[in-house]
């Protein structure tokens, strides 16, 4: 039986997570900021479908991206050098998470970014903990991603792309920005071929948690990221 979380209950040990489905740890609880932050600090995240109770996960192995290992394909490199886009940070968080919820995913019916999830992460954004990286073309939002920063750890949640390479442009600038700030790791949660193509790889959960514990212990205080055009982060490093 999976433990059912109440307001007074803490998360169970990660070793009790199921192997099938991989990483399912607990059920219930809420999406209050305190609960979400407690989860992320322990390497746990919520993921569930409409009509389900909140499900909490900590898969083993864990898909991660080390910022310095971000992989630039030949075609993406041409796109980054060509320009014609603008990258902004934290200027349209609500629009980014709504776009992620609306974007169809191969093999998925509906979205796990249900309205209560969107509200919870908008609250974390107001607290300076959740952030968006946005790709703009001619004043139009065409792609982006959002996630949570704790200490020097970033937890990627979702991305969307309405134009070719728009989400990859956002990930490229996120990786460069995090590397400059001394962030050590981006949590990508579970393996996908798309993430692997960008340089993400799987590591054992125990290794992930050991790195996580060190990274969340120190780092910049919560707060908004600089909203000005961040495209120079890539161009100056290219």
Task: Name the band, by pLDDT with cuts 50, 70 and 90, for residue 122.
Answer: very high
Q: What is the pTM of this model?
A: 0.94
Strand order in the sheet with 185-189: 86-89, 130-137, 140-150, 153-161, 185-189, 62-65, 201-203
Burial class of residue 19, CB neighbours in 10 A (0-12, 13-18, 19+): exposed
CA nearest 65: which of 216, 210, 171?
171
Two tokens at 188? 């990508």
- Separation of alpha carbons 150 and 218, rounded Å: 9
> Which position has the higher pLDDT, 211 or 227?
211
Two tokens at 57? 């996960």
Burial class of residue 175, CB neighbours in 10 A (0-12, 13-18, 19+): buried
Q: What is residue 28's three-state secondary structure? A: strand
Task: Name the band, by pLDDT with cuts 50, 70 and 90, for residue 103.
Answer: confident
Q: Burial code of 32-55, b = ≥16 C-beta within 10 A, e = fewer? A: ebebbbebbbbbbbbbeeeeeebb
- Overall average pLDDT of the 133-158 stretch: 97
């Amino acid at each position: 039986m999976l433990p059912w979380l109440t307001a007074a209950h803490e998360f169970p040990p990660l070793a009790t997570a199921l192997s099938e489905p991989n990483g399912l740890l607990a059920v219930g609880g809420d999406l209050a900021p305190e609960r979400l932050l407690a989860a992320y600090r322990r390497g746990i995240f919520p993921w569930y479908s409409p009509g389900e109770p909140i499900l909490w996960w900590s898969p083993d192995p864990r898909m991660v991206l080390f910022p310095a290992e971000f992989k630039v394909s030949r075609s993406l490199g041409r796109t980054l050098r060509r320009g014609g886009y603008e990258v902004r940070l934290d200027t349209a968080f609500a629009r980014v998470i709504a776009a992620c919820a609306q974007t169809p995913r191969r093999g998925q019916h509906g979205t796990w970014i249900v309205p209560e999830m969107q509200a919870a992460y908008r609250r974390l954004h107001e607290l300076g903990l959740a952030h968006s990286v946005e790709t703009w073309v001619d004043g139009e939002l065409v792609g982006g991603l959002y996630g949570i920063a704790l200490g020097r750890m970033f937890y990627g949640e979702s991305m969307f792309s309405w134009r070719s390479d728009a989400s990859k442009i956002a990930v490229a600038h996120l990786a460069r920005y995090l590397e400059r700030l001394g962030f050590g790791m981006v949590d990508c949660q579970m393996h996908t071929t798309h993430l692997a193509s960008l340089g993400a790889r799987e590591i054992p959960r125990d290794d992930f948690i050991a790195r996580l514990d060190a990274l969340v212990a120190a780092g910049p205080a919560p707060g908004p990221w600089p909203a000005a055009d961040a495209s120079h982060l890539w161009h100056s490093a290219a």
